[in-house]
Structure 1
Amino acid sequence: MTFNPLQERGIPLDKQLRNWRELNVTPTDPDHADPYTRCRIITMNGIEVEAILFSHQLARHCPDLELKQHLARVRYIEAQQQKVVNWLLPGLASVLETTIAYEQVAVDLTAWVARMEPDPYLQQAYQFGVLEDFDHLYRYANLYEMIEHRKAEKIVDNLTEVMPGRPTYLHHRDPVDNVREPYDKSSAAPISKLHALTIMSAEQQTMNFYMNVGPTYMEPIARQLYQEIGLIEEEHVTHYESLVDPGESWWEMLLNHEYNECYLYHSFMETESDPKVKNIWELHLNMELEHLRLAAELFKKHDGRDPEQVCAPELPQPVTFEPNKAYLRELIATQIDYTTLGTGYVQDAHERFEKMQEALMGGEKAPSERVIEDNRAKSGEEYRLQTEGDHPVHSLQMQR
């Protein structure tokens, strides 16, 4: 059955405010919940955070008092949604456990988007990024084993493999080489716009999370690893945000944000295994339908166009969290030695890359390398989770 959110009516805005009891949701059970339920929660938290931040930026560039007041009303509801979504995470989970879940989101969400993306240039951007998040998962899993004496397989539940991707120390590039060419708003497929907004939002939330939780650890190697990967997440946000056409007006961007929220809440409502969480996705979808209707009215008024000119006439197939093991192994086998040059990709080191590496490393090994050595010394071997035979590049050590 097709679903066109532009033709649906949601809950009126003045009926969306929730009281403390309604906001006080029961968190998921960390021992029995589907790991992909946690992934959907983390994803929607990132989407809601982006909605709030974007609305603030729009308000700061909007001289009309009445429009600022309208944005404030909707934004407060978005803030309530964000609190409900993020508070579904169990308080018992450690920061590192949540970190590993964040990286599972980055791996399986980005891999799914790469598989579904119709534009070859955009697809390459997601393929490039996912091999780096895949390696981050491996580094954090080794840190988890070393300082909490537990294995990441309990968190990822064998749905996502844990082993080397593109080595993390090679992710540090000249900042100019993290900027990609944007899609063309006039010709890009609607799904491409949704993909770019989704991955940008998810990576931005990961960047924000690491910036804040990194210094809460006492162990030097943990503090250093969060610092290193936090810098790379900044690169990833640059990488993904540059895919969005800056020629979109504020009102077109607002419309795309609201449409994307409807798309993701509908997707997760369709695929959620936890009935209580599913109910929240459905409730939030019905709220977002009204937010979309209001954004569409602003778009028509200020851009003078019909929303159907820029949005898909019906929702694409649902975003699905599922294992991507074979796809990731293929990427590792064929694209492991890629880096960036300008807005493209190369397989050989270039002068800017080597200069950045030399300046940042200062002749020392990166924390992402040392955490593997430290865990190997402490646990007898590094931690890996391989579920289907041996890895095609099991002993990967990239040489440039």
Structure 2
Amino acid sequence: MSFNPLEHRGIPLDRQLRNWRELDVEPTDPDHADPYTRCRIITMNGIEVEALMFSHHFARQCPDMEVKRKLAEIRYLEQQQQKVVNWLLPGTASALETTIAYEQVAVDLTAWVARMEPDPYLTQAYEFGVLEDFDHLYRYANLYEMVQHRKAEKIVDGLTEVIPGRPTKYHHRHPADNVRTPYDKSTAAPISKLHALTIMSAEQQTMNFYMNVGPQYMEPIARQLYQEIGLIEEEHVTHYESLVDPGETWWERLVLHEYNECYLYHSFMQTESDRRVKAIWELHLNMELEHLHAACDLMRANDGREPEEVLGDSLPEPVTFEPNKEYLRELLDTQIDLTTLGEGYVRDAHERFERMQAAIHGGEDPPSERVIDDHAALFDGADYRLSTEGAHPVEELRR
């Protein structure tokens, strides 16, 4: 049965404030929790952080004191939501274990979005990016076995393969070639807008995480790998944020942010295996319904438009975390050698790409290559990979 958030009321704003006891949620068990429960937690943290930062940026541009006060009220409540969601992650997990989980999110969430996206141009943008996240997972998994002497299969649980993707060293492109053509807000399907916002938020969270945790390591190869992949996450955020139509008003964006939160909390309620976590998704959905209605009221009052002009008449099909192994294998077969040129994609290296490669690598192997060599030196000449379908034939491109 379809669910239209515009037709449902939630918990009134003046009843949403929680005390410390309510905010002090018990974290999930890292040894027994469903890996996709962790993925849902990481995703919703990224969504909440994006909503908070958007609200702050909006407030800095807004001269209307009443609007600023309403934004501040909702933002404080969403700060509490973010704290609850992110604090579900166990304190026993290392930064590197959380990193591998972040990359599992990037792989399976982006692959799912690519499969469901109705616009072929946007689909291509997601397919291009996911092959790079796929390779990041492989590089970090090799680092994990070297540094912590544990295998990434304990984290991803065989749901996501850990094999080489488009080699990380080829992800370094001239910044101008990371900017894509945006969708047209007047013709784009509502689901396309939600997809772009979701993946942008997830990649932004990863970029911020790597910027902060990278220098906390003592091992030189770990510090260097985080630095390299952190720069690529900057490219990915540029890639995905440029898909959003800059002609959307602040009011449209506000409504879309709140609607997307409703969409994802509602989606994750459908498949969550942990009853305690599912109860949090349900509670937050009921909070977000009122945030959405407040945003819609602001749009009507300040933009003179109805939210139905921006949103659909019901939520799309739920977002689902599920294995995407066959889909990713097909992309590896057909798109591993792609790079970007201007706003499009090409198979052949071009002058601007080659200049960037020469400048950033300086004639040496980057950390993403050395981490594989260092792993091989420690483990009888072998890299770490977790394949559930046998070796893949296109190996010469993947180091």
SS of the aligned residue for 2:345 comes to strand
Deviation at 1:295, TM superposition (A): 0.4
SS of the aligned residue for 2:213 comes to helix
Partner residue of 2:374? 374
Please say if 1:154 is aligned against 2:176: no
Contact 2:165–2:398 (8 Å) recurs in 1: no
Partner residue of 2:267? 267
Partner residue of 1:385? 386
RMSD of the TM alignment (CA)? 0.7
- 1:257-311: CA deviations, max 9, x gaps? 0000000000001110000000000000000000000001111111111111110
Deviation at 1:12, TM superposition (A): 0.4
Contact 1:153–1:385 (8 Å) recurs in 2: yes
Contact 1:25–1:87 (8 Å) recurs in 2: yes
Alpha-carbon distance in structure 2 between the residues aligned to 1:135 and 1:11: 43
Contact 2:164–2:398 (8 Å) recurs in 1: no
Which residue type is aligned with residue 196 of structure 2?
A: A
Contact 1:267–1:319 (8 Å) recurs in 2: yes
Partner residue of 1:16? 16
Superposed, 1:114-133 pairs within 5 Å as 114-133=114-133
State the 4+ residue runs in structure 1 displaced beyond 6 angstroms: none
Superposed, 1:288-303 pairs within 5 Å as 288-303=288-303
Deviation at 1:396, TM superposition (A): 3.2
Alpha-carbon distance in structure 1 between the residues aligned to 2:134 and 2:215: 23
Deviation at 1:390, TM superposition (A): 2.2
- Structure 2: runs of 5 or more not aligned: none
- 1:8-37: CA deviations, max 9, x gaps? 101000000000000000000000000000
Which residue type is aligned with residue 75 of structure 1?
A: R
Contact 1:138–1:164 (8 Å) recurs in 2: yes
SS of the aligned residue for 2:340 comes to strand
Alpha-carbon distance in structure 2 between the residues aligned to 1:379 and 1:65: 62
Which residue type is aligned with residue 286 of structure 2?
A: N
Which residue type is aligned with residue 171 of structure 2?
A: H
The total of aligned residue pairs comes to: 398
Contact 1:180–1:243 (8 Å) recurs in 2: yes
SS of the aligned residue for 1:364 comes to coil
Alpha-carbon distance in structure 1 between the residues aligned to 2:102 and 2:3: 30
Alpha-carbon distance in structure 1 between the residues aligned to 2:386 and 2:198: 28
Partner residue of 2:54? 54
Superposed, 1:218-237 pairs within 5 Å as 218-237=218-237
Contact 1:164–1:396 (8 Å) recurs in 2: no
Superposed, 1:114-193 pairs within 5 Å as 114-193=114-193
Deviation at 1:350, TM superposition (A): 0.6
- 1:188-209: CA deviations, max 9, x gaps? 0000000000000000000000
Alpha-carbon distance in structure 2 between the residues aligned to 1:15 and 1:394: 57
Which residue type is aligned with residue 189 of structure 1?
A: A
Contact 1:329–1:392 (8 Å) recurs in 2: no
Please say if 1:85 is aligned against 2:85: yes
- 1:39-58: CA deviations, max 9, x gaps? 00000000000000000000
Partner residue of 1:44? 44
TM-score (normalised: structure 1):
0.99
Contact 1:114–1:127 (8 Å) recurs in 2: yes
Alpha-carbon distance in structure 2 between the residues aligned to 1:255 and 1:185: 14
Deviation at 1:395, TM superposition (A): 4.3
Deviation at 1:389, TM superposition (A): 2.2
Deviation at 1:211, TM superposition (A): 0.2
Deviation at 1:182, TM superposition (A): 0.3
Alpha-carbon distance in structure 1 between the residues aligned to 2:271 and 2:166: 31
Which residue type is aligned with residue 103 of structure 2?
A: E
Alpha-carbon distance in structure 2 between the residues aligned to 1:369 and 1:285: 43
Alpha-carbon distance in structure 2 between the residues aligned to 1:397 and 1:167: 5
Partner residue of 1:344? 344
SS of the aligned residue for 1:321 comes to coil
Contact 1:55–1:75 (8 Å) recurs in 2: yes
Which residue type is aligned with residue 66 of structure 1?
A: E
